[in-house]
Chain A
Amino acid sequence: MSFDSLIQAILDGVLTGGVYALMAAGLSLIFGVMDIINIAQGAMVILGAYLSYALSVHLGIDLFLGLLITVPVMFVLGMFLEWGFIRRLREGDRTSMSILITYAFAIIIEGVLTVLFGTDYDQLSASYLNSSVHILNFYLPDIYLFGFALAVVLLGGLYVMFFRTKFGRGLRASLQNRTAADLVGINVNRTRMLATGIGVGVTAAGGMVYGATSAFNPDSGYDLISRLLAIVILGGMGSIGGAMASAVLLLIAADIVATAWEPTWSILVFYAAIILVLSFRPIGLFGARAVRSQ
């Protein structure tokens, strides 16, 4: 493996890591606040991609501009998911039951998208999808640069909201102890509904960038979920910064394996991360304990 190849793999990992962070951040946020494992996260990424596709094809709205519409739409969908389904689950078995509920939600999303768009593959289109910036010996694709910048801005915004606002304090209080949060006057149900909405809303952005970099059909979300779970577990459930850091770390590792060794082993990086983290540091790199101490 040449030095240039190594640098290229690292650059690829950093840029695609941004895309994965966008897709995984919502999953992390929702789990962190509500102990919900959202199996529908992959389907929601694809839903976000289709929303961007519909706006782009039918209304000619630019992909990034379209986020002003798709993010609020997905935000409302997230709140509906929490209000309509998650809230109805008993506190004791909510985590396990959420897997079934969100899996059902994923199937519903897939079914509706199949009816609306069919099973043929689509891909988002824009003038900047194939262009790239030449720096030293490397071409950096514009769409990945834009996606990475979007990830930094959105996840940075979430971080500020999480740690620098009253709402964020409420969120973290709900994360730590629902009863105590109730006692100090936090409307936990409302906080959780908003948190789910935010988590799903951010996923719209991840879906747009995913749809701009990969062809997709209504079924494409299932291949994503194991990777997204690995990112969230490594980063630490509930940690937005952790999602970003672990996405970049895992994608760099996977891309180096693919380039230096065999692509077929790159997927191993994600599964190995899950096993290692759960065995030696279950809270992840920036897990709940670390989040709460900030």
Chain B
Amino acid sequence: MRIRSVASAAVLLVTLGLVAIGGGSTAGASSSPVTIGISLSLSGDFSADGQAYDQGYKLWAADQNKKGGLLGHPIKLQILSDASSPTQVVTNYNTLIGSDKDQLVFGPFSSLLTTPSSKVVARYGYAFVEGAGGAPSVFGQGLNNVFDVSVPVATNLYAFAKYIASLPKSERPKTAAYPTVDDPFTQPQLPPAEKILAAAGVKTVYSKTIPEEEVDYTATANAVAALKPDIVVLGATDVPTVSAFVHAFIQQHFSPKAFIATAGPDQGASFIKAVGTGNENGIMVPNGWYGDSPKADSQAMVKEYIAKYGGTASEVNADIAEAYSVGQVVTQAVQHVGSFNNQKIIAYLHSGVTLNSVQGPVKFDSKGENTALQATTFQWQKGVLNPVIPVGSAGTKPPTYPKPAWSS
């Protein structure tokens, strides 16, 4: 028995050693592709976001391949579907790294899936650059390999809350409701905003959690509408949640002075279709990027996206930019270290260097959060998602407050 245990341990060590060698391999023949493994939610609860990430990663790979790939190697993406399952995503990264020996990996969609998968990726010593795992739960694991290129989610609503708090007392809302879906992405965002608003005298009249698997929001939305809060801060992860609240509010003849949702309104055409054209106007969402961003690389990406998939700049899902940014950051890291050595990439990303992405600057702190990017609050105005807060920042439009009445 003892011999067998020793033998098993030896096999395990050899396997891990081989994987480490694989992960630390340098560029070989210039014609051989570099394979990047990714688990994405191509079905399940996050399928809409997962598909958008799929497009974003592929758009980046195509662009980078036009520039010669990574260190002269053509980029090959190996994308496995995790069906939005926190267990399947773990299996997928074990497959991508442990079995298939992909040289690099990119992150999945959502904090819910990044949290378990980052542990597995850390065990293999791989860098885990991602764009949608910004919840504190991801960074509270003490891992040094996770890097989120997007805005840390806990700070997402700061700008909005500070704007409301800065309004003259006569205009400032008096009451606020904070319904939120039970999700690691939404829940950390609301308490900081609530704290800022409470300090400004905005009284909380509703603060309750909705189960993630909820499909009927009528009772909750009607309960919020009955309280007639001046502002509604909705912790949502997808379009149906926001859409259900919008329709319920219209049916209850209730229109808050301000309505912000943590996600959903950033889904472009899909969101407008769900809430009904015109009803999107005035609704806000925090984010790090928007389709009409004046950044040159962002405009180039949007142009390519529209050429390939159609639509307008405003309709481009912010997930596309998040995924694209992951590719950009890894490109810069690989080019700097001159290899696909994951340990060197991790060390470089932790070095305090400021990198560039379509979303804006990227600089990681010791936990891997992007400290250089601040959340902007966007608002749908006449069918266009405009950056509005911080008020007066470059490229922003004045926020519409109070929100216009529903169109239907």
Residues of A in contact with B (beta carbons under 8 Å apart): 4-5, 8-9, 12-13, 15-16, 110, 114, 118-123, 125, 129-132, 139, 141, 144, 213-220, 222-224, 227, 251, 254-255, 258-259, 262-264, 266-267
Contacts and interface: CB of A to CB of B under 8 A. Distances in A.
Given A114-B43, A215-B244, A267 B274 contact: no
A114 B223 CA distance: 34
Given A123-B273, A214-B215, A263 B179 contact: yes
Interface string B186-221: 000000000000000000000011110111101110
A130 B209 CA distance: 25
Contact of B219 (A4, A217, A255): A255
Nearest to B269: A120
A214 B216 contact: yes
Contact of A267 (B211, B238, B239, B267): B211
B219 A141 contact: no
A176 B364 CA distance: 68
A8 B275 CA distance: 23
B240 A139 contact: no
Contacts of A129: 247, 276
A247 to B, nearest CB: 11
Interface residues of B, number: 44
Nearest to A265: B211
B292 interface: no
Task: List the 10 closest A-B pairs by CB distance, nearest first.
Answer: A255-B219, A215-B240, A120-B270, A215-B274, A141-B251, A119-B47, A130-B250, A121-B239, A263-B210, A215-B243
Nearest to A268: B211
A262 B178 CA distance: 13
B48 A130 contact: no
Interface in B40-59: 42-45, 47-48, 50-51
B215 A227 contact: yes
Given A263-B214, A267-B211, A219 B45 contact: yes
Contacts of B275: 123
B327 to A, nearest CB: 21
Interface of B: 42-45, 47-48, 50-51, 179, 182, 208-211, 213-216, 218-220, 222-223, 226, 238-240, 243-244, 247-248, 250-253, 267, 269-270, 273-276, 406, 408
B240 A214 contact: yes
Where chain B touches its partner, the secondary structure class is: helix
B320 to A, nearest CB: 13
A264 B216 contact: no
Given A130-B408, A215-B274, A8 B244 contact: no
Contacts of B209: 262-264
Given A121-B240, A121-B270, A130-B406, A12 B50 contact: no
A139 B251 contact: yes
Contacts of B253: 132, 139
A121 B274 contact: yes
Contacts of A258: 219-220, 223
Contacts of A4: 226
B220 A130 contact: no
Given A130-B408, A263-B208, A223 B223 contact: no
17 contacts: A5-B223, A8-B226, A12-B219, A12-B222, A16-B216, A110-B43, A119-B42, A119-B48, A122-B270, A123-B243, A132-B251, A214-B244, A217-B48, A254-B216, A259-B220, A262-B209, A264-B209
Nearest to B238: A121
Given A131-B251, A219-B47, A254 B219 contact: yes
Contacts of A16: 216, 218-219
A95 to B, nearest CB: 26
A110 B47 CA distance: 12
A207 to B, nearest CB: 13
Contacts of A227: 215
Q: Select the residue from B182, B208, B216, B222 with max chain A CB neighbours within 10 A.
A: B216
Given A144-B218, A218-B47, 5 more contacts: A120-B273, A213-B244, A214-B215, A224-B215, A264-B211
A216 B215 CA distance: 10
Contacts of A219: 43-45, 47
Contact of A130 (B219, B223, B226, B276): B276
A255 B218 contact: yes
B208 A266 contact: no
Contacts of B240: 121, 214-216, 220
A139 B226 CA distance: 10
Contacts of B42: 119
Nearest to A122: B273
Contacts of A110: 43
B299 to A, nearest CB: 23
Nearest to B42: A119
Nearest to A259: B223
A121 B243 contact: yes
Given A263-B179, A264-B211, A217 B47 contact: yes
A132 B214 CA distance: 23
Given A9-B219, A219-B43, A254-B219, A262 B208 contact: yes
B405 to A, nearest CB: 12
Nearest to A125: B276
